[in-house]
A = this chain, B = another copy of it.
C-alpha cells in the first residue's frame, strides 16, 4: 500500500475537504453508513484506516469501551490525536496489511474508504474475520467498482465542460488504477463486485446489508451533488462473522 497521505502537499489538500473540516457530518455517505452501526455499548472496536479518527470518536460517544484506530500515515495519526483524543481510544501508526489481527478480540471492525488502496482484499477480510469475536460485525465502506473501473476515474465532459457520462472500461481486469485526486497522481486498486462480495462471503461472513451510497434528498441542490446520482461512488457493506 502506498502512503500518499504522508505527502505534505496531498495532506494539506485533504485537510480542506469537507469530511476533514466538518468530520462525519461533512461526509456525504455518513447518513447511510451510521445506520449500519450495531449497538456498541461496552464493545471493543477496531478502525482500519482511521484517518482523523472521526469514527473512533463516534464509537466512543456511541458507548464503545475500547477503540483501536490504525492508519499508515503518521500525519493522520497526529491529526487524530489532536482532534479526536479520548482515554478509551488508542491510535497507532500501522498499515492495514501490517497489523497482527489478534484472534477473537473485537466486537466490531470498521474500515472506511481505505481498502481500495489494498490489492489483495480477501486476505484482509480473512484477518478481519479472525480478529472478530463470534457474531462480530464488519462495517465496510469501499469505493464502488463502477467508480474504480472508471476511465481515469473521471467523467467524459461535453463541449461545455459538463459531465456527459461516466466511462467504464476493463472492468474484469482488477488491479492498479492511477487517478488524479487532490492535485496528485494517486494509485488505487480496482476490485470487481465479485471480488468484494465473494471475498467477504468466502472469509466466513454473512452479508446483512449491501448498499450503494446515495446523496440524501435534501442536499441535491448543492452544486455538483446532483451528478452523484448519475454513477455510484461508494459501496457500504455490513456483514456478520459466522461460525
Taking Cβ atoms with an 8 Å cutoff, the residues of A that contact B are 146, 149, 151, 156, 164-173, 192-194, 197-198, 201, 206-212, 214, 229-232, 235
Contacts and interface: CB of A to CB of B under 8 A. Distances in A.
Contacts of A173: 229
B171 A168 contact: no
Q: In terms of DSSP, what is the predominant structure of the interface of chain A?
A: mixed
A148 to B, nearest CB: 12
A148 B216 CA distance: 23
A161 B86 CA distance: 60
A35 to B, nearest CB: 13
A165 B169 contact: yes
A194 B211 contact: yes
Contacts of A197: 207, 210
B232 A193 contact: yes
Contacts of A229: 170-173
B165 A232 contact: no
Contacts of A194: 210-212, 214
B170 A168 contact: no
A190 to B, nearest CB: 12
